């Protein structure tokens, strides 16, 4: 089994993928780590601009020979990967704002990430690039609870996960900024 765990920064990809990897004994491929090894084109302040083609090729090389693996990272929605399922972690914008503020992100960075969450950026791209995409709402749940839900889905013990819609939040944000 190979899975992708993607989503907006702060939705819990690293925490959730660590738990699943530990519980299932599957290899964990972190796109951030792979990108560091020769896929960063340039740095803009603290932000790193990644060559997506190189990142995909490097990820495919790392996947070789691994029957079971979890690929984790927000850039995972940007291209096709040979996975059985792509899970998109979602978080209600108000809760995501709190998580990102806790990290000390500047206001502009929080805003960009919240907008991307409200516009379903990772879900839409994942659906363009992968056939089996599932959304998982992490709001009000611990990383452990979210991991268990994903594992139960993979084991066929639950048949469906979530379908989020932050339209109301998006409308409110748009009105506030007019």
Ligand X SMILES: Nc1ncnc2c1ncn2[C@@H]1O[C@H](COP(=O)(O)OP(=O)(O)OP(=O)(O)O)[C@@H](O)[C@H]1O
Q: Which parts of this chain interact with Mg ion (CB under 5 A)?
A: 13-14
123: contact with ligand X by CB under 6 A = no
6: contact with ligand X by CB under 6 A = no
- Which residue, 158 or 174, has its beta carbon nearer to ligand X? 158
Least Å distance between CB 175 and ligand X?
Answer: 28
Relative orientation angle of helices 93-102 and 167-177, to the nearest 10 degrees: 70
Stretch that binds ligand X, among 14-22, 39-47, 49-57, 161-169 (CB under 6 A): 14-22
What's 162's DSSP letter? B
Residues 6+ apart with CB under 8 A from 73: 6, 13, 30, 31, 32, 35
Least Å distance between CB 11 and Mg ion?
Answer: 9
Task: Using CB under 6 A, pick the residue from 3, 4, 16, 88 that binds ligand X.
Answer: 16
Question: In angstroms, what CA-CA distances link 10 with 19, 26, 65, 70, 150?
Answer: 16, 23, 30, 18, 18
Binding site for ligand X (CB under 6 A): 7, 9-16, 74, 99, 138, 141-143, 146
């Amino acid at each position: 089994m190979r899975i992708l765990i993607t989503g907006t920064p702060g939705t819990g990809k690293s925490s959730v993928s660590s738990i699943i990897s530990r519980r299932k004994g599957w290899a964990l491929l972190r796109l951030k780590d792979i990108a560091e090894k020769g896929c960063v084109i340039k740095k803009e302040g603290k932000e790193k601009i990644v060559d997506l083609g190189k990142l995909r090729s490097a990820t495919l090389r790392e996947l070789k020979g691994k029957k079971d693996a979890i690929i984790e990272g927000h850039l995972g929605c940007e291209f096709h990967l040979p996975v059985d399922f792509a899970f998109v972690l979602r978080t209600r914008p108000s809760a995501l704002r709190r998580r990102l503020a806790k990290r000390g992100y500047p206001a502009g960075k929080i805003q960009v990430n919240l907008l991307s969450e409200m516009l379903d950026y990772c879900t839409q791209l994942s659906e363009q690039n992968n056939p089996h995409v599932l959304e998982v709402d992490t709001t009000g749940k611990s990383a452990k609870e979210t991991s268990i839900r994903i594992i139960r889905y993979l084991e066929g013990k639950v048949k469906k996960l979530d379908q989020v819609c932050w339209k109301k939040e998006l409308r409110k944000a748009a009105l506030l900024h007019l």
